[in-house]
């Protein structure tokens, strides 16, 4: 399966959510990385999720979420087992250092 970015004006399609979102710089990075995860690393959309709420978070309001979460398999995701990868995306212009 090949996954490509779908941009329509100021909106970008989020395949993990099944809908278009406003295309912010961070959203563009997130959707581009999801395409890379599928096309280059062979993960499936069925084993990933977007904007997953983190439980027990001690950040600020306690409402932290992960941009992209990947489980070992679709079955592990459905069983709510621990994910194998958690991704936090930032816009291209944000640097740490």
Token pair of 92 as six digits: 């291209």
pLDDT at 91: 81
What is the tens place of the pLDDT at every residue in 63-75?
Answer: 678 999 999 999 9
Strand partners, 21: 12
Q: What is the pTM of this model?
A: 0.86
pLDDT category at 62 given cuts 50, 70, 90 is: low
Token pair of 70 as six digits: 């990947």
Q: Are 35 and 3 a contacting pair, CB within 8 Å?
A: yes
What is the tens place of the pLDDT at every residue in 83-97?
Answer: 999 999 988 777 776
What is the tens place of the pLDDT at every residue in 22-38?
Answer: 999 999 999 999 999 99
H-type alpha helices, 1-97: 25-39, 74-78
Enumerate the domain spans of the chain.
7-87
Contact residues for 26 (Cβ-Cβ < 8 A; gap 6+): 89, 90, 91
């Amino acid at each position: 399966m090949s996954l490509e970015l779908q941009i329509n004006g100021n909106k970008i399609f989020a395949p993990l959510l099944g809908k278009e979102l406003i295309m912010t710089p961070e959203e563009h990075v997130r959707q581009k990385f999801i395409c890379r995860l599928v096309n280059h690393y062979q993960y499936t959309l069925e084993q990933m999720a977007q904007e997953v709420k983190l439980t027990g978070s001690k950040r600020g309001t306690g409402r932290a979420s992960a941009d992209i979460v990947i489980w070992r398999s679709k079955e592990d995701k459905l069983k709510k087992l621990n994910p194998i990868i958690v991704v936090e995306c930032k816009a291209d212009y944000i640097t740490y250092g």
